Amino acid sequence: MKENQTDQQHLAWLARSFGRPDYLPLSPDDLKALAEAGDIVKKYPGTHLFKEGESATAAFLLREGEVDLYRGATDRRDVVGRVGPGAVIGDIAMFSGQPYISSARAVGHVTAFHFDRDRLLPKLALSPAITLRWLVASLTQLERTQRRVLNLMHKTVLAQVAGLLVNEADDRAEVALSQATIAILLGASRQSVNEALNELKRRGHVETGYRLVRVLDSESLIRVAAED
C-alpha cells in the first residue's frame, strides 16, 4: 500500500511538473501509460544512471536530486553540465538508437523515472499529450545549452561567469557548482573563474561557499553578462 502511494505521488508530480503543464494536461490514461512505460529508480551519491558508450535503451526524468553529465574516465572526467528536477536525460541517444555520449552520475541522492525505450515508444505513438510534453522538456534543455554557448561568444570571463550564474540559478537563487565545474563549462581557467567570482562578490552581486554560489542581485548580474 505504501509503495502504491509513493508511485501515485511520483505520477502526480509528473503531471504538474514535466515539460509545460499548460500545453496539454495529462489525463488519467496518460499517467497510466507513463506508469506502464517506466519505473521509479533511486540512486546513491556517486552512482550512475548510465555511462558513456553504453547502449541507450532508456531515458530518465529527474524528480529529486542533481546529476553531473560528464565525458571521459571517472578519474579525469570533463563535466559538461549539471541537471536537476524536471530534466530529461538520455532521451536523444535513446530515440536515435545511438550509445550514450556522456555519463550521468548522481551528485547526491537522486530519484528518477526510468523509461524503457521499448515500453515508452508505443505509448508516445498513442498519446499526443505525452509526446508534446516530452518534446517541450527536451527543447527546454536544448535552449539552456544554446544560451550557454551564445554566452561564451566574444565575452570576457567575468561576463561569462555572470551569465552562467543567471542561467543556472535555481528557485532559491543558488548555483550548486564548484569553481572547477564552472571553469570546465566555460572553457576557462580555474584561476580566471576564481577572479571573476571574487569580483562579483566584491560588487555585492553574489556570495560564495563550498561548491555553491548564491545570487544576491540577479539584475546586476544580467547587466554584467551583457557586457562585451
Q: What is the pLDDT of residues 36-77, one digit of tens each?
A: 888 889 999 999 999 999 999 999 989 888 898 888 765 666
Q: How far apart are CA 172 and CA 162, in angstroms?
A: 17
Q: Does 132 lie in the same domain as 97? A: yes
Query: Using one digit for the tens of pLDDT, what is the confidence trace for 179-198?
Result: 888 887 787 888 999 999 99
Specify whether 137 is located in the same domain as 208.
no
Residues 43/37, Cβ–Cβ less than 8 Å: no
pTM, to two decimals: 0.67
Share of the chain above pLDDT 70, in %: 84
CATH number of the domain enclosing 115: 2.60.120.10
Looking at the fold, whether 144 and 160 belong to one and the same domain comes out as no
2 pLDDT more than 80 = no
16-20, 88-92, 160-164: segment of lowest average pLDDT: 16-20
> What mean pLDDT is predicted for residues 189-211?
91
Report pLDDT for 176.
82
Residue 24 is predicted with a pLDDT of 67
Strands across the sheet containing 38-43: 38-43, 110-116, 58-64, 88-89
- In the chain, beta strands by DSSP E: 38-43, 48-50, 58-64, 67-71, 78-83, 88-89, 103-106, 110-116, 174-175, 206-209, 212-215
Contacts of 213 (CB under 8 A, 6+ apart): 165, 174, 175, 177, 197, 206, 207
When divided into structural domains, the chain yields a total of 2
Residues comprising the chain, all counted: 228
Q: Which structural domain, as residue segments, surrounds residue 108?
A: 2-148
Confidence (pLDDT) at 17: 67
169 and 123, same domain (yes or no): no
